[in-house]
Amino acid sequence: TSSSRPQCQRRRPGLAGGGKAHRGAGSRPRAPPGTQYSNFTGVISSLQRQLEIQESQLRRAKSEKETLQKKLREQENQLQALVWTSYREDAAKPARVLPRCNTLIYASPQVVTEQESKLAEQNKLISELEGTVRQLQAEVLRGRYHIHEQQRAQEVRQSQAEMLQHRELQARVALERISSRFERYRSKIIQATFSTAGSKAPQAELTDEEVLEAMQKIINERLEFHQMLRQKGVKVPSLYTVDATLSPASARERRKSPAR
């Protein structure tokens, strides 16, 4: 009697879809893109929660797959051991070997088929979960990119706002300086206008129009007096050329010199 193992062992069928991702499975509508930073943050938080749930289901499915594969290997090993034991016991009776072998091999076909069916379902579920996880990861990356872009845009706007505030502050300082100089100049004009002989000091604050009217009155009186002197034969310099003939330094010295 030969000691080789009988060629009546059942060959294990191939498992369909093992490890391959199913592209169409697990698809879900894409979350609407937000237009503000807070909206993107909420979308990212929701996607991360969904991703954690899908990854947990994927780990559970892989664990169940490993358990089913282990049980299936154990059952096949037990079956092969029973066949080999039966063959050795019935080696002296060849007529009983084949029926005994077939009986042992097909003793539990339903159990093996169920295990293989469950394993195929687990492979399909794992493929679907892997596709969903990849899609969620892509959406999370897109959301983070949008958040990063929003942060950069916000930083640019903040920088522009700070620059505008700085320019506004500079403009206010310059305006206050100009206003202060204008008030001093206006005060000197009022003082010079109403300090002439025959002028009355103002009793209340004057408007710009009133100051201009007072100045125009003084100018007109000066012109009339100048014209009267010329008509009487008094030689007087022209009012329009007296300052033009003077150098800037002489004009400044003349303005600084006290009235005689």
CA angle 7, 13, 14 (to 5 degrees): 135
Q: How far is the C-alpha of 124 from the C-alpha of 122, rounded, in Å?
A: 5
Model pTM score: 0.40
- For the chain, how many structural domains are there in total? 2
**How confident is the model over 231-235, as a mean pLDDT?**
83
Of the candidates 232, 229, 189, 233, the residue with the CA atom closest to the CA atom of residue 211 = 189
Residue 241 in any domain: the answer is: yes
Distance of CA 198 to the CA centre of its chain: 74
Residue 93 in any domain: the answer is: yes
Q: How far is the C-alpha of 31 from the C-alpha of 113, rounded, in Å?
A: 41
> Are 51 and 113 in a shared domain?
yes
pLDDT tens readout for residues 129-183: 888 888 888 888 888 888 889 889 999 999 999 999 999 999 999 999 999 999 8
Residue 165 in any domain: the answer is: no
pLDDT tens readout for residues 182-199: 989 888 888 887 777 666
Range of the domain at 226: 207-254
Residue 214 in any domain: the answer is: yes
Residue 194 in any domain: the answer is: no
Residue 117 in any domain: the answer is: yes
